[in-house]
Structure 1
């Protein structure tokens, strides 16, 4: 067994030398294309890294604003003020001072509801109503009882009362 003598034929020599030159040229073209692609993707990765850093900063800012917003919302979901108003004080010819003092005494009686969350206040609205309606008020040597007509539970607890003679 022997190797055929292709080295003596010029057609085969041109074929093999063409393969070698073609391989070298294709290798150079491959390296060029691979380098261009690598550079393009490296640039894209750098841009994406910058964008990721910027988005992480934005996330931190949003999280801080979200925490501050939650703190404000917690303040908003508690009772912060109590308003009491007697609607029919003119019917009994009461002066505004005694009406104001009565309203203030009712506020003092239910002041424990300040800074409580709305759910707790709403669940105890019957208790508030009983506290107010069991209160007897003495104005100008006459005894009056209070009746709750309307109660609105929100950040401001608003209560409308009617005053009647106590029998």
Structure 2
């Protein structure tokens, strides 16, 4: 069997040449559009990666801030210091060194509440009051007794005391 000689007819030669030329043109068109779309996709992916990395950095910053805020809140919810004040020390003419000694003795007595949470100290406030009021203090040759006038429980435990002669 023999293949017909199409190469000798100019109409067929033009048809095949047009097909080859069209294939080459469409191939270049395809490469151009595919390259353009791929370039857009690559730039979009790069922008998204940068955006994701920025968001991850923001998440880390927010997590660090949240961690710091939680630590600050934990610290704020603990008793950090104790303040003792004698209200009427001048009335009994207690000298300044004796007054400071009484205040320091009371501070030492209740210093165990430092670093305890506010809620547990609030629940045991009556025991704290009674432990302060049941103790007698010496100064200037007299025995003194204190009564808790005001007890403020916050990050600083503030105790206002009224002093009197012991009975």
Which category describes the TM-score, using the shorter chain as reference length? Answer: 0.7 to 0.9
Deviation track 1:107-162 (CA, whole Å, cap 9, x = no partner) reads: 11111111111222222211111111111223233222111111111221111100
Matched, 1:86 2:89: no
**Unaligned 5+ runs, structure 2:** 1-18
Question: Runs of 4 or more off by more than 3 Å in structure 1?
Answer: 23-39
CA apart distance, 1:80: 1.6
Deviation track 1:42-98 (CA, whole Å, cap 9, x = no partner) reads: 322220111101211222233233323333332332212111000101111111111
What secondary structure, in the 3-state scheme, does the structure 2 residue paired with 1:85 have?
strand
Where does residue 136 of structure 1 map in the other structure? 136
CA distance in 1, matches of 2:67, 2:118: 21
CA apart distance, 1:32: 5.5
**Unaligned 5+ runs, structure 1:** 1-19
Where does residue 58 of structure 2 map in the other structure? 58
CA distance in 2, matches of 1:163, 1:52: 66
Matched, 1:105 2:105: yes
CA distance in 1, matches of 2:141, 2:129: 25
CA distance in 1, matches of 2:144, 2:91: 13
TM-score, normalization by structure 1: 0.73
Q: How many aligned positions are there?
A: 150
Where does residue 114 of structure 2 map in the other structure? 114
CA distance in 1, matches of 2:156, 2:54: 42
